[in-house]
Structure 1
Amino acid sequence: MPSSPPSDPDEPARVVARLRPLEPRSLGQRSAQIVRAATRLFQDAGFRNVSIEQIGAAVGLTGPAVYRHFPGKHDILSQALTTQVELVATLMADAEEHGRSPVEQLALLLDGLGDLTAHRDVSTLWRREQRHLQPAELDVMRSYFGQLSEHFASLIVAARPDVVPSEAAMLGAAALSVYSNTSEMRGSLSPARLMEVQRAVADSILACRLPGPPEPGPDAERAPAHRRPASRRERILDAATQLFSERGFTDVRIDEIARTADVSIATLYQEVSGKSDLLRAVLWRGVQGILYVTAHALSRAGSDDPLDVLIRVFVEYALDVHGRIMPVFTSDLMYLPDTEKTQLRNAQMDYRAEWIDAIRSRNPLLTAADANALAQSLFGYTCEIIESPQLRSRPGVAAELETIARAILNPAGLRGAPPES
């Protein structure tokens, strides 16, 4: 690992000083209640699937009465996201104030994030619903999150002098993703056990050593090349996958898919019945594809550890062209009918069962719920890499992801769950 330049002990404090609330708004008790209720509804059903009437009903108001507090649903979402950012900024400032060293500040911050996400469970709202912000709001929020990430990375460098800033950015993103993916990790874990798992995984990530960037040469890692499919249906599916992954199912029109696939709208409807039919086909392709390549690799594994095989196949699949389906599954599955959602989730559970079995084979003291949380943590972080041009384009990102995957799935500090009383 390359040596690090001397860290600046004052950098974390300078970053915290720049964390300012976004156009702070003093909320009355009822307005704050509306924001909390809407946050839960957006988290569970998605912004587009929640009406003003449902938000009002959650707090004992009619839909029109909600408009006395907020101009519209979009303004409630903006306030909900701003509130979340401010909560994290407060945790960082508190850790900076009360921690006597960078190591202690990191520990206080991780404990605070664990308590916040394990008990309030609003972790996926920013990841999934940011697309509904206005461009100017999105720019401001991304800048603010960038400052939070910068502060976290600076704490890592201060706590681990052997880590350079570029490595700290990757490790910091991985550790923070543990908390942004809480809702997927939770399963049947109690809040206390969930916090134990979160902290053990975050500590394991922050302690791991990333491989150095690859040497330039003919064998250097290259981004997957996009190949234009030959058949008409494949071009349509490819176009839908790309547009859904970039902008989300609800913000893509059928004529845009047809134009991207270089077919007429009439021709598109000869292949599929509509946009929901395309989403269904895209998601089934993703689930069935990873199931097939995984089963094939495990059948040929021989004496290889199953968990190592799973990691290797998963990283290759996720960073290749079909990996873009993963964020679509996370964000847009909710727009399919309940029966189809159940079928897709069951197929996804079949895939996850391989991970749970492999993780418990290596650490038999863990419960199935523990192992599920570890696997979900890896899946969530991988989705963040796929969606982040900065992370996805890092030299040697595949080797880095494999290293972080092993840290996530086998955290040294995670003991078996205590027996139920």
Structure 2
Amino acid sequence: MLGPYNPSAQHDQRFTSGSLADPPTTRGRMARMVLPIPDPATVGRRRPRNRKQQILAAAARQFWEVGYHQVGMADLAAAVGIGASAMYRHFRGKQDLLVAVMHEALDRLDEATTGPVDLDRTIAGTAALALERREFGALWDREAGHLPDQDRDALRDRLRMILSHATEVIAAATGAPHDEARTRAHALYAVLESPSHHRVDLDGLRFEDLLERAARAVVDVALPVTGPARHAAPGRAPQLPASRREALLAAAIRLFGERGFPSVSMNDLGTATGIAGPSVYNHFENKNDLLVAALTRGNEALWLSLHHALAAADGPADALDRALDSYVTFATANPAIISVLLAEVINLPTRQRDAYRRVQQDYVAEWVALLSRSRPEIGETEARVLVHAALTVANSLARARHLQQRPALTAEIAALGRAVLRAPLATRSGG
């Protein structure tokens, strides 16, 4: 449901969070919670009163599952059993519909969290809504960059208000200074929006309880006051490699991360690197080849880092700690490539998309195996939920512009991610 709550992200035009691996789906709990989509054969005689809500639910589901650019108004009309022209009685077009989907989700969040300054109420209300409206986080990650500036800014302002409220709640509950409370609020919402980025499900209230416990862990964990030296400040002009191919790849990663793959042209890449338009094709046949190269570069870097962690560790718990530290270091140093890994796989042709998702799923599975071995009291499903939540914390905070000046940010993110991985489970008698 929830977005990354990252209104001042590392890249202004992209607001990515999320975790690697599983594409979203509506199986399990999500399939039970979305509004029902009527059988086309049974509708049309009389317009139901909740037609607009049906359209919003169908749009959220399809944008989430297959991507905004892959869905047409005719597809959505068929999903709710009406003619394509009837869609325009409710929405001016697909972009207007995407804006409405996002505002409707934030309306629900406002209802769940506004009111008395109460940490437990904020966490519980948000966790329940995160599972009921699971789409919003991934939609905000992938699709917000396609909205007009005015609409995106309005959504960003609402997210700022939500983050500010959570900051106030955490500061009141813990006595933390404002900047620290804001960091924790950002991590809390990253945990709670993490289900938007995977297909894992748990029975009954166990999923909700686990999210609440992981969210509470990032509020309570002690944060370091010092950490390793930070990388170059965001916004500094990057130095491009001498190799033209590498310069194009570096520019593609940066621009795909900032604007999204569909919004970047080969001419944009040529301009960014000082390479004349036709010469770009001497190095990459088309834009898809650049996306494949970017994804390959990112995935291989993560796998190499994980191999180093496994080779140096003296057990599964140590290996997981090392994997987390190396991942956070990579994410804070390479925010654009993390954005590409999270948001752009969906733009590949089906066969390539499936292959890259398998690579990412295998990577997450290594973390799950390490967590399961280091915490034998938890099941594989719980371990998978916690791993996705920890990765989402890292991905979100590493690219939050308003956090970039914190001197110990890398160490703080690692501590927050570690708290998520160590979040306690409810006793079996209580679950």
Indicate whether the TM-score tops 0.5: yes
C-alpha displacement of 1:237: 0.5
Q: Is the 8 A contact 2:112 2:129 kept in 1?
A: no
2:286 corresponds to:
274
* SS, match of residue 305 in structure 1: helix
- C-alpha deviations, 1:85-127, integer Å up to 9, x for none? 111111122x52xxxxx4xx22122222222121332232223
AA matched with 1:223: A
1:389 and 2:390 are equivalent in the alignment: no
* SS, match of residue 69 in structure 1: coil
Gaps of 5+ in 1: 1-26, 97-101
| 1:78-97 correspondence runs (5 A) | 78-93=99-114, 95-96=115-116
**Aligned counterparts of 1:365 and 1:357: Cα–Cα separation in 2:** 13
Q: Which moved more, 1:32-41 or 1:146-155?
A: 32-41
**Aligned counterparts of 2:251 and 2:101: Cα–Cα separation in 1:** 33
**Aligned counterparts of 1:77 and 1:61: Cα–Cα separation in 2:** 19
Give the superposed CA RMSD. Answer: 2.2
1:111 corresponds to:
124
**Aligned counterparts of 1:371 and 1:329: Cα–Cα separation in 2:** 22
| 1:138-287 correspondence runs (5 A) | 138-161=152-175, 163-190=176-203, 192-213=205-226, 220-223=229-232, 226-287=238-299
Q: Is the 8 A contact 2:134 2:196 kept in 1?
A: yes
* SS, match of residue 271 in structure 1: coil
Q: 1 or 2 for the larger relative contact order (CA 8 Å, sep ≥6)?
A: 2
1:325 and 2:337 are equivalent in the alignment: yes
Percent identity over paired residues: 28
Q: Is the 8 A contact 2:248 2:269 kept in 1?
A: yes
**Aligned counterparts of 1:273 and 1:363: Cα–Cα separation in 2:** 47
1:131 to 145, 148, 151: 145
* SS, match of residue 327 in structure 2: helix
2:423 to 411, 415, 418: 411
* SS, match of residue 209 in structure 1: coil
1:298 corresponds to:
310
Q: Is the 8 A contact 1:33 1:59 kept in 2?
A: yes
1:375 corresponds to:
387
Structure with more helix by fraction: 1
* Structure 1 runs (4+) greater than 3 angstroms displaced: 224-227, 413-419
**Aligned counterparts of 1:182 and 1:302: Cα–Cα separation in 2:** 31
Gaps of 5+ in 2: 1-47
2:66 to 45, 48, 52: 45
TM-score of the aligned structures, taking structure 1 as reference length: 0.85
C-alpha displacement of 1:394: 2.3
**Aligned counterparts of 1:411 and 1:148: Cα–Cα separation in 2:** 24
Q: Is the 8 A contact 1:35 1:79 kept in 2?
A: yes
**Aligned counterparts of 2:244 and 2:430: Cα–Cα separation in 1:** 56
**Aligned counterparts of 1:130 and 1:393: Cα–Cα separation in 2:** 25
C-alpha displacement of 1:330: 1.7
Q: Is the 8 A contact 2:394 2:414 kept in 1?
A: no
AA matched with 1:211: P
Q: Is the 8 A contact 1:186 1:373 kept in 2?
A: no
C-alpha displacement of 1:29: 2.1
| Cα distance change, pair 45–288 in 1 and its aligned pair in 2 (3 A) | same
C-alpha displacement of 1:367: 1.7
**Aligned counterparts of 1:330 and 1:222: Cα–Cα separation in 2:** 22
**Aligned counterparts of 2:136 and 2:207: Cα–Cα separation in 1:** 13
| Cα distance change, pair 108–298 in 1 and its aligned pair in 2 (3 A) | same
1:357 corresponds to:
369
C-alpha displacement of 1:223: 2.6
**Aligned counterparts of 2:360 and 2:141: Cα–Cα separation in 1:** 20
- C-alpha deviations, 1:355-387, integer Å up to 9, x for none? 112211221121222111111112222222243
**Aligned counterparts of 2:347 and 2:189: Cα–Cα separation in 1:** 27
C-alpha displacement of 1:250: 0.8
**Aligned counterparts of 1:221 and 1:282: Cα–Cα separation in 2:** 24
